[in-house]
Amino acid sequence: MNDAGPAPRFPLPSELTEVAGAEDWASMYPYYTRFQPEDDQRFWFYNAMHFPEPMPAFDAITAEAPYTALGANTARMFVFPTTLGIEHRIVNGRVYITANPVTDPEEIQRRLAVFSERAGHYYENWDELYQGWVTRVTALIDEVQRIEVPRLPEFEDPEVVFQAKGVAQNHYVRENYHRLIDLYSTMWHHHSEFLMLGYGAYVVFFEFCKTSFPEIPDQDVARMVAGIDVILYRPDDELKKLAKRAVEYGVDDLFVEGCDPEKVLAALAARGDGGRRWLEAMDDAREPWFNMSTGAGFYHHHRSWNDDLTVPFAALPGYVDQARRGELLDRPTEQLTAERERIAQEYRSLLAGEEERAAFDQMLGLARAVFPFVEDHNFYCEHYFTTKFFAKVREFGALLRDQGVLADVEDVFQLSHTEVGQALTDVMLAWAAGSGPAGAAHVRKTVAERKRMLDALAGWSPPPALGPVPEALNDPAVRMLWGITAETIQAWSTPVTDGDHEVRGFAASPGVVEGTARVLLSANDIGQVQEGDVLVCPVTAPSWGPVFGKIAAAVSDIGGTMSHAAIVAREYGLPAVVGTGHATKRITTGQRLRVDGDRGIVTILD
């Protein structure tokens, strides 16, 4: 990057061209998400980790709410010394972000004084505060489920009158909808509450290891810290348990490759006692463990296991086979714990002296203390809460359908969250006035138009980044979550030459294997994955856990070594290359690949 040529840069936001058939894409999103002329001066990167597909209008809330909360936490609540919030923009349906740094040394010092006191309080009382956090977030999830979507009866219930309540049902349409949106925002505030502090503790340990052992693989640092008994693995563990039950209850023959969940459930119901017991066991597991999105929890159409049993039922036949053969399905947690200890102790013994060992112990201890949150918040927030949230939005969608505004429940997601509010107001007015809502004519046209635009936008290849290459990137979240460093940016800005058969990324999990590529752009296609495939996807989400039992390796466009995909791949002992920038564009399903997880290189062999 030191060449004398023009300063390296990516396309500027203002240079991006429209996608044919989706010229009016901006109408789907709030005005404050649009690129402004001065945004050309800044570096933006495509957050394909969380938003690998064009955003349906409603789903844009999954960018708005998190960045509202994350920035508030870092910039205003804890007052991080060197980093403010993250800004997002939407263009052609894709979410680009940039982190705002603090660079003035005096300002950093001023913020540091505030930060030390506030962050210190959290670190000092971490376990207790985290326990409180679990209680608070669990209560939020309860509350989301208890939100009532009014029925809008022809006549109000008599007690409204006789108990002098004085408020009609149509009022609660808006109140309860707003409550739902507010709870979603609250959840994201809690999501961010511990997040940056958790990553901060991890980054400190990471940097220490990298300085003491300049060539230590990132995954070894992760191995010393990562939890063994985290609830992130629990859904997959529950599937394994169900596989064992299937054998135990003599219904294992129903679980075969490619089976249809509906048919299996029907067959189980007809199987007498064994079938009944298995169905009971599944019902026990479903709450809460099947509240796992098949994506990262940012799209309404990435249905959860509970919404769509295809994902768990795609994994069950393999586990049932193993259970039948008497293979151990349980994760060897004791062995994993012992190995984690051994690795930490051996690195510790290689340090130069007692001083360093004492510092190592402090940093490792702190990193491990914060990690239960870092790993488990994902289940509580992105999966459990979010599944319930989208389910409740669908209930409002059902109201809109029943009142004639929408043709289909799912169409509610083609309106932004403020537009849903408007549509509900339409219904409130119409119910009160005794007329029909105006929506049927207005909204259905909008929905059809937007579905068409989303289809067109899906074919657009977003550049990995926009704007000038920045001089330095020091945001811990950007580095740890998205794996974006000066090197990544360098790799992205190096043009791909024809005939180049290599795709480079981060070596996230060691090992070298060859296999057939299975490119999945959407988590909904997860059922296509065959035994031994190399999964190539925009982002490997932890909820794809069961798929990791089938695949030979994982390759992703986005993600750092601490992305959950990387963690799960290491757990399953699969090679993984993450953060390639554009693997899904370079690779097509059916190509033979060699995935070198030691070096972070994917070779296209065909």
Residues contributing to the site for other proteins (CB under 8 A): 80-82, 105, 108, 112, 115-116, 119-120, 123-124, 197, 200-201, 203-204, 207-208, 211-217, 220, 223, 342-343, 346-347, 350-353, 355-356, 358-363, 365-366, 474, 476, 507, 510, 596, 598-599
Q: Any idea what DSSP says for residue 399?
A: H
- Within a 10 A sphere around the Cβ of 330, how many other Cβ atoms? 9
State which residue, 17 or 103, has the beta carbon closest to other proteins. Answer: 103
Minimum distance between the CB of residue 355 and other proteins, rounded to whole angstroms?
Answer: 5
Single-letter amino acid, residue 433: A
Minimum distance between the CB of residue 134 and other proteins, rounded to whole angstroms?
Answer: 21
Minimum distance between the CB of residue 215 and other proteins, rounded to whole angstroms?
Answer: 4
State which residue, 300 or 368, has the beta carbon closest to other proteins. Answer: 368
State which residue, 459 or 573, has the beta carbon closest to other proteins. Answer: 573
State which residue, 209 or 412, has the beta carbon closest to other proteins. Answer: 209
- Within a 10 A sphere around the Cβ of 100, how many other Cβ atoms? 14
**Nearest CA-CA partner of 65 in 194, 187, 198:** 187
Minimum distance between the CB of residue 171 and other proteins, rounded to whole angstroms?
Answer: 46
Minimum distance between the CB of residue 213 and other proteins, rounded to whole angstroms?
Answer: 4
Helices and strands in the chain: count of H runs, count of E runs: 20, 12
Minimum distance between the CB of residue 366 and other proteins, rounded to whole angstroms?
Answer: 4
Minimum distance between the CB of residue 205 and other proteins, rounded to whole angstroms?
Answer: 8
Minimum distance between the CB of residue 404 and other proteins, rounded to whole angstroms?
Answer: 54
Task: Name beta bridge partners: 98.
Answer: 87
Give percent helix, percent strand, percent coil of the chain, each to the nearest 5.
Answer: 55, 10, 35
State which residue, 159 or 355, has the beta carbon closest to other proteins. Answer: 355
State which residue, 485 or 516, has the beta carbon closest to other proteins. Answer: 485
Q: Are 302 and 293 in contact (CB under 8 A)?
A: yes
State which residue, 463 or 575, has the beta carbon closest to other proteins. Answer: 575
State which residue, 184 or 208, has the beta carbon closest to other proteins. Answer: 208
Encode 551-604 in three state secondary structure.
CCEEEECCCCCCCHHHHHHHHHCCCEEECCCCHHHHCCCCCEEEEECCCCEEEE
- Tallying the residues shown for the chain, one arrives at 606
Using DSSP, state whether 514 is helix, strand or coil.
Answer: strand
Q: What are phi and psi of 578, to 5 degrees?
A: -120, 165
Minimum distance between the CB of residue 114 and other proteins, rounded to whole angstroms?
Answer: 11
CA-CA distance, 18 to 40, in Å (whole number)?
17
Q: Would the CA dihedral through 359, 193, 472, 504 be positive or negative? A: positive
In sequence order, what are the residues at sequence separation of 6 or more whose Cβ sits closer than 8 angstroms to the Cβ of residue 17?
none
Beta strands 94-101 and 534-537 are: unpaired
Minimum distance between the CB of residue 74 and other proteins, rounded to whole angstroms?
Answer: 10
Q: Are 313 and 256 in contact (CB under 8 A)?
A: no
Task: Name beta bridge partners: 468.
Answer: 9
